[in-house]
Amino acid sequence: MAAVEAAGGVLWRGDPANPEVALVHRPRYDDWSLPKGKLDPGEDPLLGALREIVEETGFVARPGRRVGSLRYGTPEGQKRVRYWACEAVEGTFEASREVDELWWGLVAAANDWLAPDHDRRILERFATDTRRTRPLVVVRHASAGDKKHWDGPDAERPLDADGVARAETVATLLSAYGVQRAGSAEVVRCEQTLAPFAKAAGVEVLAMPRTTAGSFEADPERGTAEVVALLDGSGSGGAAWCGQREVIADLVGRLAANFGGAAEDAAGVAALAKGALAVLHLDDGSRLVALERLPT
């Protein structure tokens, strides 16, 4: 575990084929860097990255694919910084004690300004694929206690206190992605995991019984097709679905293959923790650009 956890992003705007990126000037170090900063205790890394971008640049951003993480030594100890590609949505820069200037320019020019070598490596990774993406998010339901202590039908087992708290974080993440459509297995704990998001975003969570464990295994192609169909009418914000552990690995593998990837791209999602997300980043042609797990 790194002694110092931080997160940030490559903030970009304009034409995805030739985007402008943002650099911030830090008077304390008299250098130019990508916006980033330390995470608050217990803070989700992606949400921390978006918070730091707002604090340092004044811009609200929509996250895209993760562009990697770096580890390096600091006077405080070993530091890990995780970065995402983040498209600027709106905002206005205001100088502060930590950041007194904001610069926008093309990637090639930005490389000449950057002081930290590690930031330059992240920018180079971003430049290898600058496509705008939209997300299809697969959520495993949050914590619902031990089913051994539940006397009713398993499908009616509700979230516990930890699950309710995690559902709020899930809501914030889905809102950050701009998700516009959502569906759920016909299971109470799955529906409750998306309920805070649905309330905040003013969207209906569609009941999708064919994606419920048992029904999905009986006809996985149809269940997968229903999740894919959530993208219809979802715009650039994409869609989200919440379901059970028994379904997720097969579903994500099938989704990856449907969008031009391979089932092997979904390796690791079988161990997706309760309340965690698997995010398929799709380009404008609905081709799979990247698949990541949150939290990382």
Does the pLDDT value for residue 151 go beyond 90? no
Query: Distance between CA 188 and CA 20 in Å, rounded?
Result: 44
Q: DSSP for 132-143, please give it.
A: --EEEEEEE---
Domain co-membership, 149 together with 96: no
CATH code: domain of residue 62: 3.90.79.10
Q: For residues 98 and 56, give the distance between their C-alpha atoms in angstroms, rounded to a whole number.
A: 8
| In a shared domain, residues 148 and 288 | yes
99 with 151, same domain: the answer is: no
Mean pLDDT of 186-199: 98
Query: What pLDDT does 2 receive?
Result: 54
- pLDDT interval class at 224 (50, 70, 90): very high
pLDDT band at 81 (very low <50, low <70, confident <90, very high): very high
Q: Calculate mean pLDDT across residues 231-246.
A: 93
Q: Out of 59, 94, 127, pick the residue that ends a domain.
A: 127
pLDDT above 90: residue 147? no
Judged against a pLDDT cut of 70, whether residue 116 lies above it is answered with no
Domain-terminating residue out of 109, 127, 145: 127
Residue 171: C-alpha distances to residues 65, 159, 182, 289 (Å): 19, 15, 11, 24
| CA torsion, ordered 172, 174, 176, 177, to nearest 10 deg | 170
Please count the structural domains in the chain: 2
Supply the range of the domain harboring residue 123: 4-127
Same domain, 111 and 158: no
pLDDT tens digits, one per residue of 203-212: 999 999 999 9
Are 287 and 167 contained in the same domain?
Answer: yes
SS3 of 162-230: the string is: HHHHHHHHHHHHHHHHCCCEEEECCCHHHHHHHHHHHHHHCCCEEECHHHCCCHHHHCHHHHHHHHHHC
As a whole-number percent, the residues of the chain with pLDDT over 90 amount to 84
The mean pLDDT value of the chain amounts to 94
Mean pLDDT in residue range 32-39: 96
Check which CATH number belongs to the domain holding 278 and give it: 3.40.50.1240
Whether 239 and 104 share a structural domain? no
pLDDT for residue 73 is more than 90: no
Same domain membership, residue 119 and residue 202 = no
pTM for the model: 0.95
- Whether residue 1 has pLDDT greater than 70: no
